[in-house]
A and B are shown apart, each in its own frame.
Chain A
Amino acid sequence: GESVGLHLPTLSVQEGDNSIINCAYSNSASDYFIWYKQESGKGPQFIIDIRSNMDKRQGQRVTVLLNKTVKHLSLQIAATQPGDSAVYFCAETYYNQGGKLIFGQGTELSVKP
């Protein structure tokens, strides 16, 4: 489905705090999920992914949690830094979609020094 709304929700955090960005996905058949970071003037950059057979996956300073029961994803960023300021999108897809992604609404993260 197409994303709706004219304004992205904003999350403002203090440098050094942990950030949690949430996303509700649309299709219960989706089996692969990705978080992207998009800085101003750039394309989306892959951060971390998770398959539907997992509940949690950790990367460097980031953790993704998947709750299939309520179709919810979250991205946790530890010790948030000013360089983490960007817009974050979740995206979903499923087998035989051949690479098509459906994007969530996006959240703008602002890190205060």
Chain B
Amino acid sequence: SAVISQKPSRDICQRGTSLTIQCQVDSQVTMMFWYRQQPGQSLTLIATANQGSEATYESGFVIDKFPISRPNLTFSTLTVSNMSPEDSSIYLCSVGGGHYGYTFGSGTRLTVV
């Protein structure tokens, strides 16, 4: 299965600022996924990141708040924009299916103060 490196592992940010999270995969994968895990809750899909096209966002998530880049088949970034304390969560990237497995990065624990 694929190995995913995600950074930063954690950050504390001021409200109103933005944070960009990076995700690097050791294999070329068609689709990458970004999830949010709010405190004490399960994982919710934010968007699907396809190389060469705009990301596809799930209901309740918008590009202005969570812009995503996918410049090549091994890398993606998620930006959390204009942060508020409600954005404090763990953000996770993953790849899915086939011989890559349904693998997750170690997550970015974001605290907004």
Chain A residues engaging chain B, CB cutoff 8 angstroms: 2-3, 5-8, 34, 36, 41-46, 49, 89, 91, 93, 98-106
> Which residue of A41, A89, A99 is within 8 Å of B43 (Cβ)?
A89
What's the least CB distance linking A101 to chain B, in Å? 6
Given A34-B102, A93-B96, A99-B31, residue A42 in contact with residue B107 (CB < 8 A)? yes
Cβ-Cβ contact count across A and B, 8 Å cutoff? 70
A42-B31 Cα distance, complex, nearest whole Å: 22
What's the least CB distance linking A81 to chain B, in Å? 22
Contact A44 B31 (CB under 8 A): no
Contact A42 B102 (CB under 8 A): no
Chain B residues with Cβ below 8 Å from A100 are 33, 45, 48, 96
Given A99-B96, A100-B48, residue A89 in contact with residue B1 (CB < 8 A)? no
> Which residue of A42, A44, A89, A99 is within 8 Å of B97 (Cβ)?
A99
Contact B102 A99 (CB under 8 A): yes
Most chain B CB inside 10 Å of its own CB: which residue of A8, A89, A100, A106? A100
- Across the A-B interface, give the 9 residue pairs with the lowest CB-CB distance, nearest first: A99-B96, A3-B42, A43-B104, A99-B97, A103-B43, A103-B42, A43-B106, A43-B107, A44-B104
A48-B7 Cα distance, complex, nearest whole Å: 27
Chain B residues with Cβ below 8 Å from A42 are 106-107
Chain A residues with Cβ below 8 Å from B60 are 2
Chain B residues with Cβ below 8 Å from A5 are 41
Chain B residues engaging chain A, CB cutoff 8 angstroms: 1, 6, 30-31, 33, 40-45, 48, 60, 92, 94-97, 101-107, 109
The dominant DSSP class at the A interface is loop
Chain A residues with Cβ below 8 Å from B42 are 3, 89, 103-106
A83-B40 Cα distance, complex, nearest whole Å: 20
Chain B residues with Cβ below 8 Å from A46 are 1, 101-103
A105-B38 Cα distance, complex, nearest whole Å: 12
Contact B106 A99 (CB under 8 A): no
Chosen A-B contacts, 20 in total, with CB atoms closer than 8 Å, are: A5-B41, A7-B40, A41-B107, A44-B43, A44-B92, A44-B104, A45-B104, A46-B103, A98-B48, A98-B97, A99-B31, A99-B33, A100-B33, A100-B45, A100-B96, A101-B96, A101-B102, A102-B45, A103-B42, A105-B42
